[in-house]
């Protein structure tokens, strides 16, 4: 029971300016520290 459970979460963020690269780097670092970097996909448009 529960082995086939999948959870999807979507976050949308609209940002512009010089801080967006730093924000993306911080987010990737946080995911890495939580050992989630391999399980979370970040799409940048």
12-40: b (≥16 Cβ within 10 Å) or e: eeeeeeeeeeeeeeeeeeeeeeeeeeeee
**pTM, rounded to two decimals:** 0.67
The model's pLDDT over 1-45, given as tens digits with 9 standing for 90+, comes to 668 888 888 888 888 778 888 889 999 999 999 999 998 888 888
| Distance in angstroms (rounded) separating the CA atoms of residues 26 and 41 | 15
Yes or no: say if 37 and 31 are a contact pair by the CB < 8 Å rule: yes
pLDDT at 30: 94
């Amino acid at each position: 029971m529960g082995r086939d459970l999948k959870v999807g979460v979507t976050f949308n963020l609209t940002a512009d300016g010089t801080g967006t690269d730093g924000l993306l780097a911080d987010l990737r670092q946080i995911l890495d520290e939580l050992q989630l970097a391999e399980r979370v996909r970040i799409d940048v448009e």
